[in-house]
Amino acid sequence: MSEHEADVHGHCDTRFAAVRTAFGENFRARGELGAAVTVTVDGETVVDLWGGWADAARTRPWERDTLVNVWSTSKGPVVLCAHILADRGLLDFDAPVAAYWPEFAAAGKEKILVRHLLSHRSGLCGLREPHSLADLYDWELTTRRLAAMEPWWEPGTRSGYHAMTYGFLVGEVVRRVSGLLPGAFLERETGPLGIDFTIGLPEKEAGRAAELVHPPTASSSEQAAIFSQLTPAALAALANPLVGATEANSPAWRAAEIPAANGHGTARAVAALYGIFAGRGAHAGHRVLSAEAAELAREGQGGCRDLVLGAGLAHDTEIGLGLWLSGPNGSYGPNPRAFGHDGFGGSCGLADPEAGVSLGYVMNRMGPHIADDPRKTALIDALYSAL
């Protein structure tokens, strides 16, 4: 097998042969190292493929049950936790965050609503004070600093991507309401369904984990030019602290609770979790959410040029109550009301209730993109060409 080829394993219904072709092309033409993709239609798995290598040295083949850190694709499961609580009448998205987390009212934040956290509109995209990697691993310290800080902009008026803080903000509300951190809550709710996804990575599963590989690295001068274009809020969101593949491969990262960024799972698990939304709240015959609650996840909160990602995007975006709408740019296929989430470097989860489709794509060689990686786009285009 040459460096640009990979044995592809698994199954793919004949109707979706284009997805298998695109998956193979990702290895041949788009620099894939190891990856997996799963597609469900009306709850049935029609594509379940994997291939390549789980490590940079190409000594470990990617297996059916290989796990990998999916970065911000983790946010979809965190959103699911919040919607489960709301569906049970335990959480009101129109209530002030401080109703559940009293300390959060500091620094003029007493009117910030739970929906503002879910839709990246709280103005708390990143901490104002320096926050080290060790600090990030400390749940109590991170949430305490978020509760004390002043927003970067007027909450509720614009979205600004909360890259790392999202999981602590929504997650602390989940903890205040349920008594459980998001990882434990997700395990309680979806573990019995056989969904192979965790926040962080239990030490006993380390042998199944793929090694993340850095995206192409910009030179020091190129990095300086990029950072010089960012606003203070964007710098806080994306570089306080700055993390990448090296950090995500460490035992400390895997042991921490970072719900916005350190979910670990298979493509099958990602497709299942986003498939709960695609299935209007149902998974494999189990009712996880009411149909109304599943629909609420894509209730648009207003389109705008994102205050954090705006410089790197050529278009406005719109976030629902937790997930990004495909919109006119088609990030999640041609249905503008399809929705999902991308992970730094390439991974994604997609839900399209109208088509009854979910997709999970995971990989270990990170690309330079925060969203809309060409490998993901090729798979989604192939999927919709077959529908």
Residues taking part in catalysis: 72
- Kind and range of the H or E run holding 187: helix 182-190
- Kind and range of the H or E run holding 93: none
Residue 342 CB contacts under 8 Å (≥ 6 apart), including other chains: 72, 73, 324, 331, 348, 369, 370, 371, 372, 373, 376
**Cα–Cα distance between 290 and 277 in angstroms, integer?**
10
Q: Is there a contact between 108 and 148 (Cβ–Cβ < 8 Å)?
A: no
Beta bridge partners of 35: 51, 363
**Cα–Cα distance between 313 and 14 in angstroms, integer?**
36
The torsion of the CA quartet 274, 279, 284, 287, rounded to 10 degrees, works out to 100
| Cα angle value 24/29/35 (rounded, 5°) | 45
Q: Is there a contact between 96 and 112 (Cβ–Cβ < 8 Å)?
A: yes
